[in-house]
Every structure is written in C-alpha cells, then in structure tokens.
Amino acid sequence: MKISLVVIGDEILLGQVTDTNSGEIARTVSVANWTVSRVFTVGDDAEEIKYAINAALEASDVVITTGGLGPTKDDITKSVLLDIFGGKLIQNEDVLRNVEDVCRRRHIVLNDLTRTQALVPSTARIIQNKVGTAPVMWFEKKCGDKEKVLVTMPGVPFETSQMMREEVFPQLLSRFGSDVTVAHRYLLVYGIIESKIAEMLDEWEKALPTNLHLAYLPVPGYVKLRLDGIDKDGASINALLDEKKAQIESILGDAVFADENKTIAEILIDRLKAKGYTMATAESCTGGNIAHSVTMVAGASEVYYGSVVSYANDVKIRVLGVDENVINTLGAVSEPVAIQMAKGVAKVINTDCSVATSGIAGPGGGTPEKPVGTVCIAVHTPQKDLVGTYFLPGNRGRVIDRATTTALIELIRLL
Amino acid sequence: MKISLVVIGDEILLGQVTDTNSGEIARTVSVANWTVSRVFTVGDDAEEIKYAINAALEASDVVITTGGLGPTKDDITKSVLLDIFGGKLIQNEDVLRNVEDVCRRRHIVLNDLTRTQALVPSTARIIQNKVGTAPVMWFEKKCGDKEKVLVTMPGVPFETSQMMREEVFPQLLSRFGSDVTVAHRYLLVYGIIESKIAEMLDEWEKALPTNLHLAYLPVPGYVKLRLDGIDKDGASINALLDEKKAQIESILGDAVFADENKTIAEILIDRLKAKGYTMATAESCTGGNIAHSVTMVAGASEVYYGSVVSYANDVKIRVLGVDENVINTLGAVSEPVAIQMAKGVAKVINTDCSVATSGIAGPGGGTPEKPVGTVCIAVHTPQKDLVGTYFLPGNRGRVIDRATTTALIELIRLL
C-alpha cells in the first residue's frame, strides 16, 4: 500500500520548526510493512496545498496531511478540502465539546478563533482529538476506479503521534490490513564506519534471499543495521532472520554491541538493571547531555541517581575531588582528570558505575595538541575502569552528541 | 526567486533520520528574502528521484537536493542526474584528493566504495566539500526560456550546513542577488497562548502596511513573533519596523520578555554577562536538560559553572542540603524542596544565580494531587527568590522541554 504525506506550514518551509511528524508516521506504519513513498512539504497557501494534495492522491492509496489547521490559519486548508472533497462547513457539536474540555484542562479561556476548530467539512468523518483541539478528519474519494483515503492530522507533534498510534493507524489497518508477516532484527555496530561495514558484508549481502533486505541506518557515533524479512509464514521468516543475524555477528565480531531497536540510553539502563547496578555521570564538555539522554528514558530513576556537571574547574576540584595539581599540569582535558571525575562522582552520588567526559566542544578553546573535538572519556564499574581520548570532529552540537553516545556505548561494552 | 528542495533518502522516509537540512537551507536563504516554496522528499529510487527533480525544476528557479550521495547508494542519484543533465561520469582528481584528505584527517582507511565519490557527471561544476567526502555539484539547464540551477548537497547535516553558508548561498546570491532590503524584528512572548495573542493583535494587524507581515512561531513554552518588512530603502523600513514593534510591546505588556532572535539559553547567558552574574542549575525531573541547553551555547563557561542533577532524593539531601523532613512530609515535588535545591546548588557550585526543578515527567509517578506534568520551579538571584508550581502537560519529552524553557524564562524575567 502506498502512503504519501502532505506537510503543511510556512513555519516548516521557513525552517523555524523541524517536521518530526513525518518520521513519527513512517515509524508507526512500518509495523504493517507500509512505507511512506513521498512527502510533499508546502506552505500555508491554498494553491500550494491543493497542488500537493492532488499530486499525493494521484501517487498513492492513502494521503495523510499534517498541520495547516491551527486556529490562526485554519480556513485555508479547510477551503481546499471542501474544494477537493465537496460538502460545506458545519459545526460539529462533539468537536466543540472536545475543544471546550481541552481548554478547561489546560486552564485556557476559549476564544472565538479556537471555537472555529469545531467547523468541519460535512464530507469528513470526524475522529476526536483526545489531546488537542484540531479534530482528525477522514475523507474518502474515488479516483479512477480506486478508492482513496485522506486523513488530516494536527501539526503539533505529540498530538499527531498519539492520534496516529491510537486512532488513525488502527483504523487504516482495519481498512487496508494485509496478512503477511513482517519481522526485523537489529544490530548496533560501533567502531566501524558505514562504507567499511558495507565492504565486509558485501559477499554475504549478495547471497541474501529476495524476501530479506539489509538497511544501513547511520546514527552519529555508531551504525544501526536493520535486517527486514517478509513472508506468509511467521515462524519460518523468524528462523531465517535469526540465522542471517548470527552470520552478521560472526562477520563483524565484537563491533556488534547490542541487538535491540532501542536508544543507547535505553540499552544501557536495561544492562544496569540486569546487573543490579546504579549509575552517575560527571560531565564537563557534554554539559548535562549524558544525564539528559539517560533521564529521557522512563523509569531511569531506578538505576540513575544523578550527575555533577562540573563545567568550572573549581567544581571538578571541590565537588568531585579531582586533584588540582593534575589539572594544572596536564589540563582539564586529560585522561587522569576524566578518570578522577568518574571515580569522584560515583563516590559523591553513591553509585556502582559512572561515566565522565572532559573535552573541547568548540568553537573556541582548541590548541594544536588538543584540537576542538578532543574528548577524554572515562568509564567506571565495580570491576574495571577504562579511559580513552577520542577525536570527534564537527560543530559544538555534534561534538557533544558524539561524546555522549561514545560514553554510553563504552559503558555498555564494559558491563 | 523560487527555490524547491528535493530530499533524498530511504532513511528519512522510514523515519529513521529526521531531515534538518531543509530547515537549515531555508534559514540560510531567508537572509536574502528568498523562501523555499516546496520540499519533495523521496526514497533512494531512480524513478522517484527523477520525478521529484523534474517537478522541482518545473516549479522553481533553483533546486537544491540533499542526500542520496553516500558511498553505499551513490550511483542511483548520479545516474538520474546524468539522465536529466546529460554527460558521463568522469573521475575528478581534486575530489579524489579531497576524499583522501578527509579520510586521513578522520583516521579512516580509504576503500573502493568511498573512492567512487570522485566519479562525477562531466556536466557538473564541482564545489569541493571542505568537511566531507561527497562533492557539491552545480548543474545548469535551460527549461523553456528560463535558465534553471540545480545544486546537490550531501545528506550529512553539518556538511550541508557549512557548505550552504560558506559556498552555495554566496554563489547563489552572486547569480540571483536582489537589491531590496529585508529586515525583521522579534518579540518573545511568555504566558499568553498563540490564539489569544492573535486576538489581542487583531485590530493592529489589520492596519499593517502591505510591506509588513507578522509571523507567529510557536515554540514549546512561549510564542515567538517575527515582524518582517521589505522595502527599497533600508533606513525607512527599519524605522517603520521599530515603530510597529513598540506598538506590539505596548499591547502585550510585560508578557514580552525578550526581543532577540536567539535561543532562550543564549538570551539568559547575555543577561547574566551584562549583570556580571554566574549561574548553576539543580535538576530533578529535567534530568540535565537545563544544563545541556545552557552549555549548547558557545562561551557558556564564562557564566555557567555547573549543575547537580539530583535524580535520587538521597542526592538532594546529601549533596544539595535539602531538608530530609521536608521531602518526607511534603514530597520531593514541592515548592520548599525546589527552593532549597536552588539555594543549595548556588552554594555547592558557588554561583550568584540558580534554577531548580522538581516534578513528575511521567509516564509513571503521577497522583490525583500531583498529576504527570506537575513541576515545581525555583529561581534564585542575589536579590530575590521565586518559586512556583506549573502544570505542563504532554509526554515525558514535552514535560522536560517545557519545564526547561519555563525555568530559563523565569530566570530571564527575574534578572
């Protein structure tokens, strides 16, 4: 089944907001082995919206639009929908009640602009938005001899995410559901770049059966491999995937550090829970991003106790107990300082394990010996300590991201 | 001038990678008052890429493609470009040397797949990629009586970002440059929702001259207003914008807390520098995200000394000096605990100012009295302390983001 997306919003074309809804929708429908074949992104302009919706309807069975329905720009998209699907605007009492409820829950006074969200095309079937004010609208239209479906979603990411998973995807499934089994296996690879992995797996990949496919998903700091299989018979496809996955593992060796489709932080938390360990972080150049990555995982508090962001050297010395002489002689960006930070924070926060970073995130602060991107990372467990100096090039955000990922992966590998 | 983007990559359609290049390109060209009119996102499929490039060339003067040129999927996009622009693949010695240099700098062994990046269509003008291996290619083609330009950019965000700003945009400017002056004013508004602001500014907006335009840019936690003006005469447009901006400020009152086009963290750091103050953070539910937001700003270390992420109550008590009895009687999510955290961290880290958060980010941990999204935020300066309980609904990531933004804005307002 072909799905096209139409993303509507000047704010996206202007680069003020990044479209994350398309990815969320794609990940949701991938469970049914459906893929998004095209995304059209246009501004809040009737002609542009009409062009994109018509091109999308022509190219696919299902069109999902996001955005273009806020209280301040409502009428443009709705007028295009009336134009394409016919009907007229009518007030929907259920939507009005929902808008009133949402405003009450958010302690917001309902005004006339927000009230217009209850005006919907008479040709649409309405799906109540449980988490926001813009209703989801479901249209059907015969194009040639094919019945096409168009669903409008709000632009707000958490509304689209929840409505897609809980309402729209289940309804699409029951309308277009297929009976094949699709299964995946994941391999997370550290320390080998994408093109080198491709070279190592070249022979193996050429011998893959046609119902299997290997996808390379580069992520800053590591490579995620996804092996997809599709078959009428669920048992046999799963057995085949397990066999092929084991082959990759033997080719790539211990560069494969995990086989779950989870974030690095989720994998780390699982490993800590399995071992009964707790963890703390001491961050200089990553400035809290490791703590943030770990605490984004629900339930992190079971194993993650806290962090000291020791941005100033004085905090490294006073709070973490790093030796002032070592900072003065070797500099804050040095392996001995990183290892003292790791041991110090495990003591201060009172945990079994810890990671510590000290580096130069840039753009300033680099020297010929320690250029921007130089990061010392230390990892501490009850059994072993490990420290290394990494060169992670890029701009400030990229250095911080890669240092974060590297620190978490090094701890996963040590556990 | 009309610009269309073609974003190429299965990983984007599958939702494994979020496209941030389009926004980056849009923000870069906005300086010349150019806007991106359409974005076509397609997979690594020759037919789809060809469709998108042709549709984009038809709709616009300049087409910029991103992605589709990695070492593992190179040939598809290049074959489409040969098909559309003619010529044949030739080895470019400068590109080969650049690929060799980049690999050497990154301590990567050059393999045959990476070497293919030096094969480029003979019809392309090559712009060396200073920060990666895929060269930027510039094509020109007469469509009807109009000369169209197509530029291919790499998919890696930091490469595209840097090459766009330093090479492609300057070259597009000298080819298509215009002579009008475009200017903007920004107003950051806190505590009033978008639709209410629209209502308050309705009369004022109706009276705006046609060369002025107000854009609403909702961001989690506040609303950013951008007032755009365009004119042949730079001095008069700037005077007009200043006058109109002052009118908005008088309508919205002290809900306007800043007038810079900067992140909240950048604004906070500027204010701290201006006052000669230093700052620390104590984070429970935000788990390091406030520290991360602040330290993403280059030069933050001048005023930002560090953070204690006190995820466990034991850390709040031992490291920050929060009274154990208060936690036991009122709970960790309470205003007295937040204020003790703020004062405690300012003492431990030794700073003038601080912010502290304690709340329930969810999905678990909520109660009828303190549902998920309840966050106590305390702000401390040498002159004044402030604490409040906020209800910030949404999923875990959204609660963390909004609590972070709210904490930073409350400190900005207090300074």
Please identify which residue in the block is written with the tokens 């729209």: A168
> How distant is the Cα of A322 from the closest Cα of chain B, in angstroms?
15
For residue B279, the model assigns a pLDDT of: 98
Contact at CB, A309 and B309, closer than 8 angstroms: yes
Whether residue A216 has pLDDT greater than 90: no
The structure tokens listed for B342 are 């703020």
| Rounded CA separation A292/B368 (Å) | 27
Among B35, B113, B361, the residue with its CB nearest the CB of A195 is B113
CB-based contact (8 Å) between A32 and chain B? no
For residue B280, the model assigns a pLDDT of: 98
Closest CA to A358 of A340, A333, A341: A333
**What's the whole-number mean pLDDT along residues B239-263?**
95
How many CB pairs lie under 8 A apart between chains A and B? 302
Q: Which amino acid type is present at position A362?
A: G
CB-based contact (8 Å) between A302 and chain B? no
ipTM, interface predicted TM-score of the complex: 0.72
Choose from A10, A14, A294 for mutation: most chain B CBs within 10 A. A14
pTM of the model: 0.74
Alpha carbon distances (Å) from A336 to A106, A321, A323, A343, A377: 51, 12, 9, 11, 10
> What stretches of B106-201 show up as alpha helix (H) in DSSP?
112-115, 157-163, 169-176, 194-200
Among B27, B38, B306, the residue with its CB nearest the CB of A41 is B38
- Is omega for the bond preceding B363 within 30 degrees of 0, making it cis? yes
Name the closest residue on chain A to residue B191, using Cα atoms. Answer: A108
pLDDT per residue as tens digits for the range B296-308? 999 999 999 999 9
Pairing assessment for the beta strands A353-359 and A279-283 based on DSSP bridges: parallel
Q: Which amino acid type is present at position B336?
A: P
> How distant is the Cα of A377 from the closest Cα of chain B, in angstroms?
17
Whether residue A405 has pLDDT greater than 90: yes
Q: Give residues with Cβ within 8 angstroms of B262, minimum separation 6.
A: B270
| Rounded CA separation B108/B189 (Å) | 48
Confirm if A49 and A8 have CB atoms less than 8 A apart.
Answer: yes
| Rounded CA separation B91/B76 (Å) | 17
**What's the whole-number mean pLDDT along residues A6-12?**
93
**What's the whole-number mean pLDDT along residues B233-240?**
88
CB-based contact (8 Å) between B388 and chain A? no
CB-based contact (8 Å) between A109 and chain B? yes
For residue B399, the model assigns a pLDDT of: 93
For residue B59, the model assigns a pLDDT of: 92
Q: Give residues with Cβ within 8 angstroms of A224, minimum separation 6.
A: A186, A187, A188, A189, A216, A217, A218, B16
Closest CA to B309 of A308, A351, A345: A308
The pLDDT confidence band at residue B74, using thresholds 50, 70 and 90, is: low
Contact at CB, A291 and B310, closer than 8 angstroms: no
Whether residue B179 has pLDDT greater than 70: no
On chain B, the residues whose CB falls within 8 A of the CB of A375 are none
> How distant is the Cα of B16 from the closest Cα of chain A, in angstroms?
7
Q: Where are the beta strands (DSSP E) in B9-61?
A: 35-42
The structure tokens listed for A238 are 């799963």
Closest CA to A143 of A65, A83, A57: A57
Q: Which amino acid type is present at position A391?
A: F
Contact at CB, B311 and A319, closer than 8 angstroms: no
Range name among A13-22, A307-316, B173-182 with the lowest pLDDT average = B173-182
CB-based contact (8 Å) between A114 and chain B? yes
Please identify which residue in the block is written with the tokens 């961001």: B219
CB-based contact (8 Å) between A366 and chain B? no
CB-based contact (8 Å) between B288 and chain A? yes
Eight-class DSSP state of A213: E
CB-based contact (8 Å) between B24 and chain A? yes
Residue window 257-276, chain B: list those with CB within 8 Å of chain A: none
pLDDT per residue as tens digits for the range A68-109? 886 665 578 999 999 999 999 999 999 999 888 887 776 677
> How distant is the Cα of B325 from the closest Cα of chain A, in angstroms?
20
For residue A174, the model assigns a pLDDT of: 84
Return the H-helix or E-strand segment holding A358. strand A353-359
> What phi and psi values does residue A284 have, to the nearest 5 degrees?
-110, -80
CB-based contact (8 Å) between A36 and chain B? yes
Among A14, A287, A350, the residue with its CB nearest the CB of B292 is A287
> How distant is the Cα of B141 from the closest Cα of chain A, in angstroms?
24
Confirm if B231 and B33 have CB atoms less than 8 A apart.
Answer: no
Pairing assessment for the beta strands B146-153 and B62-66 based on DSSP bridges: parallel
Average pLDDT of chain B to the nearest whole number: 91
| Rounded CA separation A211/B132 (Å) | 34
pLDDT per residue as tens digits for the range A355-401? 999 999 999 999 999 999 999 999 999 999 999 999 998 889 989 99
Whether residue A257 has pLDDT greater than 90: yes
The structure tokens listed for A153 are 């979603």
Whether residue A178 has pLDDT greater than 80: no
Q: Which residue has the higher pLDDT, B131 or B348?
A: B348
> What phi and psi values does residue A54 have, to the nearest 5 degrees?
-65, -40
Return the H-helix or E-strand segment holding A210. none
By 3-state DSSP, what share of chain B in percent is helix, strand and coil, each rounded to 5? 45, 25, 30
Question: What are the helix and strand counts (H, E) for chain B?
Answer: 17, 17
> How distant is the Cα of B113 from the closest Cα of chain A, in angstroms?
7
Instruction: Calculate what percentage of chain B has a pLDDT beyond 90.
Output: 67
